Amino acid sequence: MAALAPVQVSPLIKFGRWSALLLGIMWGSHHYNTLKASETAWRVEEAERKIVKDAHKATEKTRLNREELLYLADQAGVKVPPNF
């Protein structure tokens, strides 16, 4: 098969291709910044919820540990003061 000579591309087509590329890059940058702003706001809210959730978990763990110790003391026959 013989090698074909390169085809001369119209300047209008070249301009259209480069314009589409640049517009795509600009649109992508704008879209990224828009998504980044909403994601940042979501992360801040999630961090605040995590603080509350961790505090709730800690109090629940403390309560369960106390109940377990009281149960073990009862099983062992140890007298536990009422304000323990």
Span 5-21, pLDDT tens digits: 888 999 999 999 999 99
Q: Which residue has the higher pLDDT, 40 or 82?
A: 40
Please give the share of the chain, as a percent, with pLDDT higher than 70.
96
Q: Are 80 and 73 in contact (CB under 8 A)?
A: yes
Distance (Å, whole) CA 28 – CA 36: 12
Average pLDDT, the chain: 93
Take residue 22 and report the two structure tokens written for it. Answer: 């640049």
* Residue type (1 letter), 55: A
Query: Per-residue confidence at 82, pLDDT binned at 50, 70, 90?
Result: confident
Distance (Å, whole) CA 67 – CA 73: 10
